[in-house]
Every structure is written in structure tokens, then in C-alpha cells.
Amino acid sequence: MTPPLEQAVAETILQRFESFYSRFLEITRGAKSRFEHSDWLGVQLAGRERIRLYDHHVGATTASIRTMMGEHHPSQAFLKQVKSAFSDLLPRCENFEVAESFFNSVYRRIFRHRNIRDENLYIHPFQSRGEHPDLGKLLRCYPTDASSLPRTLRQILGDYTFTLPYEDIQRDIFDVCRHLSESGPAELQEERFEIEMLKEVFYRNKAAYLVGLIRSRSGIYPFLLPMMNSGEALFIDTVIFEPDIASIIFGFARAYFMVYSPEPALHVAFLRQILPNKADYELYNAIGCQKHGKTELYRHYLQHLARSRDQFVIAPGIKGMVMSVFTLPSYDVVFKIIKDEFTPPKEVSHAQVKEKYRLVKQHDRVGRMADTQEFTNFEFPLERIHPELLDELKRVAPSALTITADKLVIRHLYTERKMTPLNLYLEQADEQQTRLALEEYGNAIKQLAAANIFPGDMLFKNFGVTRHGRVVFYDYDEICYMTECNFRQIPPPRYPEDELSSEPWYSVAPNDIFPEEFATFLLQKPLVREIMLALHKEMFEASFWQGLQQKIQGGHIEDVFPYRRRKRFCYQRGG
């Protein structure tokens, strides 16, 4: 029988978890009203509040347990009893996967990330739903074929309840059918198939996504219907059935979806069918359970270590002034450590760097900033650390390291999705690849700026190219809000001698930015100069940035589409 204190601690953790997740669902449930009322500022505020919720509740739970324990010093036997008591409670919890992560977070907060043992924590899951859980209560299913598809689509749309009418439902149904007929899988024109739709709507930015799949004898395809609100009515913006585009929609550089999910593991199990190349941690992140995503990432890391033999090495590319970055060649993640001392002329502090990463976590990343996970006392097998990497870490971040006979423990690090640094990509790219990459690079900067983010250091080395060819920003130590910047045009020289001087002939304040100077470090190669000036000439003019600032200050929130403009029905119709 579990002693009273151990039982009380376990029950407190579960009660506090249920309180946290109840509030999480409450915020999420409000997404429908925010979408219908075009409350786009409310969308942003709700997203930030939901992200902050977890740490707030973990902190409150930690304080409560410390009070309960008083002067009691927890022994190893006590810790095992607490976990055992919590495990006994889990079967009554419908969201037991995330509850395990909450337990881990409380434990690590109380014991300052020490005694990280499997008998104390849920390093491995305690219980499982199996590979194929019953998803019936999440779904509505619609058998159909090409000839009856318009009628089926009308039924699908009618089964979702919105307070706004459709702008032109017949037009939208026609566009979906036309697009599937012209570009969709050929077998859908020849055989019967079934559409399975999740009952809950996925909300993000200014869009609501109806998420489902097409199941035919030949295979499974995504079936996503992004819906927009014109202010007075709804319309379907496009239909997504391509796996690569669906993967981008649920990508690591996007804001988290809001989808009402009392049992998020079930939504992950469904999404796994249409996004087979994504690990579970990415899917949990995508639906807003990023803290459990962190747990799943660590489990995924341990599994990969067990089945691989390569060594951790310094990441390819130009070494950063603030971060030391390394990777495991066979693994799709990079590890980033803040250096003890920064390479001049960097003047930011460690606290400021961490605050920049928190800003990115809570901001709308508009598909252009990589999501990160923050870890404390992360363990690596020492034998898997390449000697050159170990020497590098000892040199640049000795205060962050603890080295034992068989482990390297890093006190604080970030993980991030692995990408090809844009500067390395451009070195190997042909002219067409260069043009596409630079188009993406300029678009990334413009979209970040429209979302009130100025990257600061815009060198190519600070951007990565994903496997889908998208360019994403990943170096955050110099980012700031656009509204904090003072964009200026360089004043003309007063005298001919001014242009020869090593010092500027004009005053420069700390927040002054001169877009004309971007050309000095971005347009050194003739081909790059030609392409950038053809595609993104406005980036080098102060008036462009000032115009964006005015829109942001006026309350404008930009539309963000995770697919190409040519995919939009209004574009195809010439609208």
C-alpha cells in the first residue's frame, strides 16, 4: 500500500494536470469564435497564452508539492513510490500520454533536473494505446466516387457548423471537384473511394482547416480544405491532397494549430496516416502539445541512438558567434549550445539570447522560423562524441559541460530541425536552383517582416533550406520586433571627402537600420546580385520597411498561406 504522502503527491500532480489541460482546451475551444468574428489579434494572444499555460501550471504544482513535503527529504524509495502511485492513477486519465510529460516536468522542476532515472520518471511510456487505436469517435466517413463527389462534398460541408454562411458553396464545390479531376490521383476517377473527415476543425492564423483523408484501394491521400473568412462569409481557399504540401502545412516552422482534442494521441494517430514521414513528436507539436512533443522527441532520440553507430560532429557551415552547433549525421536534428563568451562584435548577453528564443516560441512563425525545444542536463554517450567536437565544446562552452566516465551532460541546449545552410546550398546550386532559393529567401524575410519580426542578421548562413525547398530562418540572437527598428535612408555626403572616410558622416543610433547596406554583404556575387535585384529590389530601400511598419502599427495582420499562391482557387479563377 502506498504511504499517505506519496499518494497525496501523486494525486496532486494529476489534479493539477487535469486543471491545466481543462484550461488548455478552453482556450482552444475559443478558436471557432475568434475565426468567425475575424478576431485576428485575439488569435495571436490566445496562441501565446496557451503556450505559457504549461509552465505556469507546472510552477504552481511544484510550489504546492514543496509545501506538502515540508522538511521531508525524498529518498529514492519515496520517489519510486510517487511514480508508482501516479501510474496507478493513469488508467482513469483519458489523456495519459500528456499527463506523463506533466509528471516529468514537475519532477524535474522540483529536483532541478537531477536523479533523471527511468524508475523516477516516464522516460519510456508507462502505457500505450497500441499501433492502431480506435478512431471512430473522431471521424465521419463518406463513401463516394467521382460522379457523386459534388453531393458528398455538400454533405461534408453541411456537417460542420459555422455561424457564417458560405460565400458561394456551389462554386467552391465545383472548384474542389475540378482540381481533383485535373490534378488529383487518377484512380479517383476510376474507382469508388472513401473520404474520412475529422469532426474537429483545425484553426491557425486566419484559416480553418477541415482535415481528412481519401482512402482508395490504391492508397491513402491527404484531404485538407482550408477555409477563409471574408468578413461576411466563408469560402474554401483550395484543396490539398499532395503529401508534400500537407507536410508543409503541418511543418516545424508554423504556428501550432488549435484543435479541440481531449485525447491528442488519437489525432496524432490519424495524422500519422497522411503524414507518414513525420515523427510523433512533430505531430504533437503541430497540434499545440509541444511539451509532450519534447518528451516524444527525447524518446525518439534514445531510439535512434540505440539503432545507430555514428558519432556526433560539429555541424557543417560557418561557425556561429553565439552558438556552437553539432549534429548526428544520421539524425534529423541539430543541437545548439550558447557559448560562454561571444565572438566580437556580438554584444548580447546569455539572458538576452534565451529571451529571443522564448520570443520565437510564442510568436507566429509564419512558416519561416524553425521551432525549437529547450533542454536541461541533456545526456550524450561520451563514446559517440567525436574528439574534434568534444575539444570544440570544451573550448567554447566549458561551463555548460559535465563529463563523467561514460557521459557528456550539457546543462542547457536547444534542439532544432536539421536543414541545409543556405550559404552551403547556394555554393552547390545551379542557376535555376539559385533563383528559386533566393526567391524563397526574400519571401522569408518579407513574411517575417509582415509578422513584425526583423531578423537582424540576414546573412545566408543564418537561413536553412528544408527538404521541400523552403527557406527558413534559424539564428535568433539578433531578432527584434519591426516596430522597434528605425529604418533610414543613408543621407547624401556633405563633401566628396565624406565617402572616403572610414567613419559615417551621419549619426547612427542603436536601433537605426539602413537597408541600403544590406547589399554590401548580400550581393557580392554577380548572379546573386542580378537575381536579388530582379526579385527583391525593394528590400534594399528604407521606404519598403517603413511601409510595413505603418501597416503593423495600423493593426494590419497579414494573410499567411502555407501553400503557393497558384494553389488558391481565386488565383486559378483569375481573381
Cβ pair 253, 451 in contact under 8 A: no
The three-state (H, E, C) secondary structure of 213-265, written as one string: EEEECCEEEEEEEEEEECCCCEEECCCECCHHHHHHHCCCCCCCCECCCCCHH
The residues with which 230 forms a beta bridge, in sequence order, are none
For residues 370 and 251, give the distance between their C-alpha atoms in angstroms, rounded to a whole number: 9
For residues 386 and 67, give the distance between their C-alpha atoms in angstroms, rounded to a whole number: 45
Instruction: Give the DSSP per-residue string, 311-348.
Output: -BEEPSSSPPSSEEEEE-TTSSEEEEEE-SSPPTT---
For residues 92 and 166, give the distance between their C-alpha atoms in angstroms, rounded to a whole number: 42
User: Among 341, 315, 360, which residue's Cα sits nearest to residue 48?
Assistant: 360
Q: Residue 324 is which amino acid?
A: S
Cβ pair 315, 326 in contact under 8 A: yes
Q: What angle do CA 279, 281, 282 make, to 5 degrees?
A: 70
For residues 228 and 40, give the distance between their C-alpha atoms in angstroms, rounded to a whole number: 12
175, 237, 280, 371: the active-site residue: 371
For residues 492 and 494, give the distance between their C-alpha atoms in angstroms, rounded to a whole number: 6
CA end-to-end span of the chain: 70
Instruction: Give the DSSP per-residue string, 207-222.
Output: EEEEEEEEEETTEEEE
User: Among 211, 252, 223, which residue's Cα sits nearest to residue 467?
Assistant: 252
Dihedrals phi, psi of 39, to nearest 5 degrees:
-90, 75
Cβ pair 301, 279 in contact under 8 A: no
Dihedrals phi, psi of 312, to nearest 5 degrees:
-70, 135
Please report the beta strands in 429-533, taking only residues with DSSP state E, as ranges in sequence order: 453-454, 463-465, 471-473, 480-481, 486-487, 512-513
For residues 29 and 260, give the distance between their C-alpha atoms in angstroms, rounded to a whole number: 6
Cis geometry, peptide bond prior to residue 345 (ω within 30 degrees of 0):
yes
Q: At what angle do helices 96-110 and 4-29 cross, to 10 degrees?
A: 120
Give the residue carrying C-alpha cell 507566429: 364
Secondary structure of residue 41 in the 3-state scheme: helix
For residues 403 and 391, give the distance between their C-alpha atoms in angstroms, rounded to a whole number: 12
371 is catalytic: yes
User: Among 477, 447, 450, 448, which residue's Cα sits nearest to residue 461?
Assistant: 477
- Using a 10 angstrom Cβ sphere, with 0-12 exposed, 13-18 middle and 19 or more buried, the burial of residue 23 is middle
Give the residue carrying C-alpha cell 542536463: 377
Catalogue the active-site residues. Answer: 371
